[in-house]
Amino acid sequence: MSSQDRTGSRGKAKAKVLALVGTSALLLTGCSAEVQRGWLPNVDRDTTNHTAAIQDFWVNSWIAVVVIGVLTWGLMLWCIIAYRRRKNDTGYPRQLSYNLPLEIFYTAIPLVLVLVFFSFNNNLVNSINKPVDSEIVVDVRAKQWAWDFNYTFDGGQEKHYAGIQAHLNEDGSEGIQETLPTLYLPVGKSVEFQLNSRDVIHSFWVPAFLQKLDMIPGKTNHIYLTPQVEGTFDGKCAELCGEYHSEMLFNLKVVSEAEFKAQMAKLEDGHIGEEYDRSPDTVNSVIVKHEGEGE
Ligand SMILES: [Cu+2]
């Protein structure tokens, strides 16, 4: 190969690298807002008083693992290239075992990494789960396959909404979102969700809130948060709970305080609590009956 040819192919390689860098830069700037929030399904950084911190934790974790990944891949690539089999090599390379400093190094470093991740995670979870004396309490009762919402507000006033199963897609057509159970919350007010189940294990999930928690029969779990922007958000059950699990959806509407009061006025007084829960015997018999019907 002449020296001219070599310069020519080097020039082409350079152009390729430049094109690659250019395209990546364009892609990154094009979706920088998406990158910033780590592609999370969040409409707003301040959707609740917790979403910004959760987002930051997610994005910073990604940055840390990508840095570690690049280092690890780099070292692997270096070994593959620097210690590759040469043309004149014969037989096996020198066999090595037990390099104590190296083994301590690759045990200690991952251990430190895991502990650092754990402590950041633990601090965040503790700060989010700290009980708050909230202005609104919503006792959410999940049931196969709908939701009951019991509101306590204004220092003790109680209203309730009993959800009916929507059976959204029974005939294969698209569901109508307006017919789903709707949970109303006033913007800027602290809320305590008391999460209960009437029958089997369900899970309370509002993707835009970046929080999800199991609902277990006989146990109350708690979520404390303050919604900070008005809007309609999707809510769903996130624990496979039976035949119509995929249709166990609800709307969450964060509205002005006046609108919240107007919606509360439409509901019936009182609280529909554990007196309507189903005992394990009833739950089992219903499931058995269902299985029989299907055959
Ligand atoms: Cu469920």
Q: Do residues 186 and 131 lie in contact, with contact meaning Cβ atoms separated by under 8 Å?
A: no
pLDDT category, 24, cuts 50, 70, 90?
low
Q: Which residue has the tokens 């922007």?
A: 229
Q: Do residues 119 and 111 lie in contact, with contact meaning Cβ atoms separated by under 8 Å?
A: no
CA of 35 to the centre of ligand 1 (A): 32
198 vs 143: CA distance, rounded Å: 5
CA of 286 to the centre of ligand 1 (A): 15
CA of 176 to the centre of ligand 1 (A): 19
Taking residues 214-235, report their average pLDDT: 95
Please state which of the ranges 90-99, 149-158, 187-196 shows the lowest mean pLDDT.
90-99
CA of 178 to the centre of ligand 1 (A): 19
Q: Give yes or no for residue 12 having a pLDDT over 70.
A: no
Report every protein residue that has its C-beta within 5 angstroms of ion ligand 1: 202, 237, 241, 248
CA of 154 to the centre of ligand 1 (A): 30
What's 252's domain CATH number?
A: 2.60.40.420
CA of 158 to the centre of ligand 1 (A): 25
Q: Output b/e per residue, 231-253; b: 16+ Cβ within 10 A.
A: eebebbbbbebbebbebbbbbbb
CA of 55 to the centre of ligand 1 (A): 26
| Residue 249: inside a domain | yes
- Give the helix ranges, DSSP H, for the chain: 3-30, 32-36, 51-82, 100-129, 257-265, 280-294
**DSSP H or E run through 234:** strand 231-237
| Domain interval for residue 249 | 136-165+178-268
Tokens at residue 6, please?
A: 């070599």
pLDDT in tens, 111-160: 999 999 999 999 999 999 999 999 999 999 999 889 999 999 998 899 99
| Residue 87: inside a domain | no
Collect all residues with Cβ–Cβ distance below 8 Å to 210 and sequence separation of at least 6.
40, 42, 47, 48, 50, 51, 54, 55
DSSP three-state, residue 269: strand
CA of 197 to the centre of ligand 1 (A): 9
139 vs 37: CA distance, rounded Å: 31
| DSSP letters for 139-175 | EEEEETTEEEEEEEETTTEEEEEE-----TTTTSSPP
CA of 295 to the centre of ligand 1 (A): 23
Q: What is the pLDDT of residue 28?
A: 57
| Residue 103: inside a domain | no
Q: Give yes or no for residue 23 having a pLDDT over 90.
A: no
CA of 245 to the centre of ligand 1 (A): 5
| Residue 211: inside a domain | yes
CA of 48 to the centre of ligand 1 (A): 24
Q: What percent of the chain has pLDDT over 70?
A: 79
CA of 239 to the centre of ligand 1 (A): 6
| Residue 241: inside a domain | yes
Q: Give yes or no for residue 26 having a pLDDT over 70.
A: no
CA of 203 to the centre of ligand 1 (A): 6
CA of 285 to the centre of ligand 1 (A): 18
Q: Which residue has the tokens 């690539």?
A: 77
CA of 254 to the centre of ligand 1 (A): 23
Give the total number of structural domains in the chain: 1
Q: Give yes or no for residue 289 having a pLDDT over 50.
A: no
| Residue 225: inside a domain | yes
pLDDT category, 283, cuts 50, 70, 90?
low
| Residue 172: inside a domain | no
List the beta bridge partners of residue 269: 159
CA of 243 to the centre of ligand 1 (A): 10
CA of 37 to the centre of ligand 1 (A): 29
| Residue 70: inside a domain | no
